[in-house]
Structure 1
């Protein structure tokens, strides 16, 4: 299990795969595989390429599973071969993250749900092609054959012709989404056809150049979609942009025995509190059972939106005015919106579908605009970037969505690509390795052999070391591993910096750059010929003159004097980390000094306590943290 991996004291050699993908694109083997499969099963090549792009961007992912057990360029799913659970089951993190009302309600598991056909497409592909599951997982050409066979089978089942006209395949493409909702199937098909119209080209993760030539003026025969007989979604005033498929499936909210209630808190945001963060999660469970968890008020976790992997369909569970129990930090929960992205495997998932990336980015952009959330990595954060609330909670905080989430691609889809700012000697940098070619060493991808090395896989992180050399030890995280070393596990971010995060430069030596990280000088490989970071000038904080060290905090709670009578003071407790004179950390902005008192089912007594202490948010390690403005001096990172 992931939890065991994260705390196991195993000795792993510091091996690193730094060569990345092949330096130059190979001949068009992948292109030829698409052409051959299209010809064999009488599917227009543009349709096959368009569907594959929406699923995988034509990547093979070294035969590793996606977040809902999908494999290869056509994302053939084999969920029946795996077991999984929701990540809220694991570890010691309390999703609510508020010791003034700790979760005392036993968590009830959702009833088992039959694995839907959308997560078992490999079985049908094997029947249609005669290929084994192993080949469909690991051989990209076989996988493409399987996807083509499925499309042709869907087309025949509709009574539609095996036509050369892409528009005649609109219904089969919609069915390939696996959606049960008419709107979701339509939006998936529309995304595929928009991709075909505009064309695409890229080099895959294993070095194959693939091109989809644009097909302008593409028509769509929508009558075939109507024949699928899919159900309409329940809208109920969902807060989603009109360009994505979204339905309302409400979270449970009820009074429970012993003065308990679940599974979220009513609020009135943004009128009483501004939303400052959008938190990206990975369910580590598949879509329908995870929704079952959030529908049950006896469960101690909730979130605002769930996103399905195969087609990007979204279910909204909470109004954005209300507070979900999702991030393990009550301060962040009270000021954030949580998005859970479908994940089938309890361990070992290594990539996410393009369909889910696209709808997630459209939703986040919409929410960020509505609530004034900055589109940067200090406010669009992963669950793994949320700090612990107290020294005792740091170790148990979750680590999703993990190193294989492509933040650079995500921010490009958000319309805010991660660009450099400043010259080569800038005093601060943004981590931004080339995702396709950055393939660092990890272990933990194989559920049957969790200590085995992962195959070389694209990742958006860099390892941080104590010295500027490949065999130097990883830096330590005293909160995550109080008595041990950082791990090379995919589930341990103790010594990793992630794409989009900004850090102050401490030193440079040749191809190596050192940043200030968790009170240490942390080195990462950053050669000029293949940089893993870009200049990113901005403001930094450093201890005020005369202060040897400065405490850091996991929340920006008010001072004791701010609390009115009847509301218990929430102690302002530093975390176990400090930073010293001479160290610098990038400034993300001011943090509202607030505590949302909400410990009752009846929301009439809920109160926001506001203080006068000024806090600043900084990028202190892999997680964001806070310092008091009176403790630091703000300067430009020269």
Structure 2
């Protein structure tokens, strides 16, 4: 067993290697290069036998192996995560939480944000998230209790899979004993201990977590982890969860109110205030009547860049901004703040805000936690599936956007747009959970492709994860994004984004999306050469490594747009506003301003959706004064760069490629 532990620690501490940037460029990637060659990724040859470790830990502590595997899968999908904490301070396959470690190591991204409203019809609203370390939930201390139960050090519980899995098994056994429940071979008898393992203080959240664990046990699952270990949980549809044990936990019942949420999920109503302010303004959202007066087109995925409790403090501030839902990392619990019929201030683009639902996920793009829990991914996917079905929103990457896919409204706002959830959000897994897997169609010479790297083994170079040394390489980590170069070579410079960097180069920073394409996004093919594919991107040819034995994109035929014959180029826009003649008297005309990019003849971009010009005038506290202006001007939403943008339908031709 000790030999196995040594191997496991070797895996955790360095079996995956990244190439450093070349000497010719500084470490920020501001020079002409970046990584001197393809990031070298080596899967561990001697991966730990996690199946054996789980089996031995289950026997040692009298926990049914299916329960131990099910709990671990719902937290970490059995990944070791290289000894780094989750967004809820959880370590290792069993997600043992250590609030003290997170408080000591986490730093929080704080900056003056772009106006979350994105509405230049009223004075800009600049907000700043607090830079001070937020308070951390006192319940995040299971690693400390596991150390007491097993005699292991905290460091081993964080980094050694044997210690970590034994610590989790010891906790489950301890919870079972404290409940007065039998140390039974029947997995169903462990329902109360599983619910307790969630760390939830709400009965609904503990129940939802336990129910999802037992759903995994019933269905079974098999997976090769990111560290190369094959783990199987055989299906046990015969297991009957004994939910009566939940009552003994004595948890609170949250205020569910009129939440818009599936009954199977744990949701509570924590309202964002709609209130007039002393300065004559109001906050922190706009009353509306969607979808009756405006079709809801988008669901926008955010991360909080702080922890759950401080996030709730922010959204309860009438002088701050708002979003519709916040999701907690450790168990997927949901708080709803704004009714879907109302417009929250979150996306930084007023046109998108007026037609979107915003979801904030507890976590950090790169800081504090290195991974999102499976519990939160699953809860989020169930919520989005429910909302998409209710409001007829297609489940694709033209409608399910990251905050980093929302365009700037004007040339002046492009540079400040947000970049969450970033390259570590696993879009392919998320869409699997949505029941809409990202798949290709068409042959190898299809005219468009969908970006789709193997998240687990695709580990490109990034920097910017360490506040103390922002130019240092980020730790190896799976990624949903690919780097885009000016030529088919890893030595070639990254393509430029004149909106993000008007006078400079794109960066290899985890916070800079200006030369990246992400999983699920579709692009028109510009060229192919050997192991490289070029796409049209921000008005230029952009190359990414796409070898046949490890593809990072799949064929994806669909509609594309090109400039109409006779036009040298067409403008692109950050919003689809109506023509001036559509505005009624008393409603100021919103100028249709093109962004700074060029869409020249000879290039093609994929079409995501069709939009009719629309503007929601809402600048007063009294919603009876709000007006929806609809025009006849027709737009197409296209995948123009990392962000979506719009072109006028009259300016382009549509074809299937």
Work out the CA distance in 2 between the residues paired with 1:440 and 1:141: 29
Aligned residue among 45, 49, 59 for 1:29: 49
Q: Please give the alpha-carbon distance, in whole angstroms, between the structure 1 residues aligned to 2:42 and 2:61.
A: 31
| 1:131 Cα offset (Å) | 2.9
- Higher mean C-alpha displacement, 245-254 vs 503-512: 245-254
Q: For 1:227, what is the secondary structure of its paired residue? A: helix
Partner of 2:302: 281
Alpha-carbon shift at residue 105 of structure 1 (Å): 7.8
Task: State TM-score, norm by structure 1.
Answer: 0.94
- What per-residue deviation string (whole Å, max 9, x for no partner) do you get for residues 412-431 of structure 1? 11111112111110000000
Alpha-carbon distance in structure 2 between the residues aligned to 1:9 and 1:214: 48
**Structure 1's 385 and 258: CA in aligned 2 closer, same or farther, altered over 3 A?**
same
In structure 2, what is the equivalent of residue 341 of structure 1?
361
Secondary structure at 2:472's aligned position in 1?
coil
Is contact 2:112–2:128 with CA below 8 Å preserved after alignment?
A: no
1:303 is aligned to 323
How far is the alpha carbon of 1:478 from its aligned partner?
A: 1.0
Q: 1:580 to 1:597 in 2, by over 3 A?
A: same
Structure with greater contact order relative to length (CA < 8 Å, sep ≥ 6): 1
Change (3 A) 1:477 1:132: farther
Determine the C-alpha separation between the residues in 2 that align with 1:200 and 1:21: 25
Shift of 1:553: 0.7
Aligned residue among 544, 557, 572 for 2:577? 557
What is the CA-CA distance between 1:391 and the residue it aligns to? 0.9
- Distance in 2 of aligned mates of 1:219 and 1:293: 41
- How many angstroms apart in 2 are the aligned matches of 1:400 and 1:592? 28
- Where do residues 371-386 of structure 1 align in structure 2 (5 Å cutoff)? 371-386=391-406
Q: How many residues align?
A: 628
Q: Which residue of 1 aligns with 2:170?
A: 149
Q: CA contact under 8 A between 2:612 and 2:632: conserved in structure 1?
A: no
1:178-197 to structure 2, matched below 5 A, reads 178-197=199-218
Q: Does 1:359 align with 2:359?
A: no
Deviation of the 1:287 alpha carbon: 1.2
**Among residues 137, 148, 151, which one is paired with 1:130 in the alignment?**
151
Map residues 590-601 of structure 1 onto 2, 5 A cutoff: 590-601=610-621
How far residue 381 of structure 1 moved from its aligned partner, in angstroms, is: 0.6
The 5-angstrom pairing of residues 51-66 of structure 1 reads 51-66=71-86
Aligned to 1:259: 280
Q: TM-score, normalised by structure 2?
A: 0.91
- Map residues 518-597 of structure 1 onto 2, 5 A cutoff: 518-597=538-617
Aligned to 1:72: 92
- Does the aligned pair in 1 maintain the 2:108–2:367 contact within 8 Å? no
Q: Which runs of 4+ in 1 moved over 6 A?
A: 84-87, 105-108, 110-113
Q: Give the structure 2 partner of residue 4 of structure 1.
A: none
Q: CA RMSD in A?
A: 2.2
Aligned to 1:3: none
Task: Provide the secondary structure at the position in 2 that maps to 1:588.
Answer: strand
> CA 1:63 to 1:450, structure 2 compared with 1: closer, same or farther past 3 Å?
farther
SS of residue in 2 equivalent to 1:593: strand
Give the counterpart of 2:182 among 157, 161, 181: 161
> 1:56 and 1:454, CA in 2 relative to 1: closer, same or farther beyond 3 A?
same
1:198 aligns with 2:219: yes
Q: Any idea what the Cα deviations from partners look like across 1:132-161, whole Å, max 9, x if unmatched?
A: 333322222222122222212222222223
Cα distance change of structure 1 residues 467 and 263 upon mapping to structure 2, 3 Å threshold: same
1:490 aligns with 2:514: no
What 5-or-longer segments of structure 2 have no aligned partner? 1-26
Correspondence 1:324 to 2:341 = no
Q: 2:253 maps to which residue?
A: 232
- Structure 1 gaps, min length 5: 1-6
- Quote the offset at 1:39 in angstroms: 2.4
| Whole-Å separation in 1 of the counterparts to 2:153 and 2:538 | 48
**Residue 499, structure 1, aligned to residue 504, structure 2:** no
